[in-house]
Amino acid sequence: MTFPNQHYGVIGAFADDYFDHFAGAAASVDRAALAAAADLLSRTYASGGTVFACGNGGSAAISNHLHCDHLKGVQTDTDLRPKVVSLSSTIETITAIANDIGYDEVYVYQLRTLAEAGDVLISVSSSGNSENIVRSCQWAKDNGVGTIAMTGFEGGRSAAIADINLHVDADNYGVVEDVHQSLMHILAQYVRQAHMDAALIPERKF
């Protein structure tokens, strides 16, 4: 059901319904797909491959946050040394590509330059249909780069292209982005603890 679908006069009631929709959206994520994403990231980090991330707007912020938590967080107390690049953080390059070529090319242009077969692309897009996201996913798919698409709404074209689709069944941008942010954290923290000495886990803050 669409949220919100009525006027709210009390923010507490709005918050209660928002959190209810968030819980349902979080429960909708396919756990087998989540396990496949964790396995792909673990193997890529262990082999020295690079994980790229990209998104627009709020999804760009998730991409940039992923860079922090996966590069810094995953290697804490582990023997992994994750190589992580947020294609959304390179504002000078993004604006140059957008100005001289077109905004649809801002991520795929960077991938063509930086990515190698065996690397991984994580795309973050609520609609799954942003043209710059779709083009980057398609190029990655065609060039041996693994693809994990975080999507919402109907999934869009990136969901159909990706090797692994982490789909959130919701149609509110805030709810979808909140779950995508949670998935970013879950993947980082799960991979970290999986490569830690078990005795250290209760002693650390995640």
Read off the pLDDT of residues 51-99 as tens digits, 9 standing for 90 and up: 999 999 999 999 999 999 999 999 999 999 999 999 999 999 999 999 9
CA distance 147 to 151: 12
Alpha-carbon dihedral angle through residues 148, 151, 156, 158, given to the nearest 10 degrees:
-20
pLDDT of residue 60: 98
pLDDT at 30: 98
Of all residues in the chain, what percent carry a pLDDT higher than 70?
100
pLDDT bin (cut points 50, 70, 90) of residue 27 is very high
Report the C-alpha gap between 57 and 125 in whole angstroms: 9
Mean pLDDT, to the nearest integer, of 172-199?
98
H helical segments located in 48-102: 58-68, 74-75, 91-100
In this prediction, residue 203 carries a pLDDT of 96
The length of the chain is 206
- The ranges assigned to domains in the chain are 30-197
Assign 159 to helix, strand or coil. Answer: helix
Residue 13: per-residue pLDDT = 98
Q: Between 3.40.50.11860, 3.40.50.10490, 3.40.190.10, 3.40.50.2000, what CATH number should domain 30-197 receive?
A: 3.40.50.10490
Matching residue, tokens 């065609």 = 142
Beta carbons of 104 and 110 less than 8 angstroms apart:
no
Single-letter amino acid, residue 22 = F
With 80 as the cut, is the pLDDT of residue 1 above it? no
CA distance 152 to 3: 14
What is the CA angle 82-86-90, rounded to 5? 135
d(CA 109, CA 67): 19
pLDDT at 11 over 80: yes
Residue 87 near residue 63, CB atoms below 8 Å: yes
- Neighbour-count burial of 197, counting CB atoms closer than 10 A to its CB (0-12 exposed, 13-18 middle, 19+ buried): exposed
- Section 156-163 average pLDDT: 98
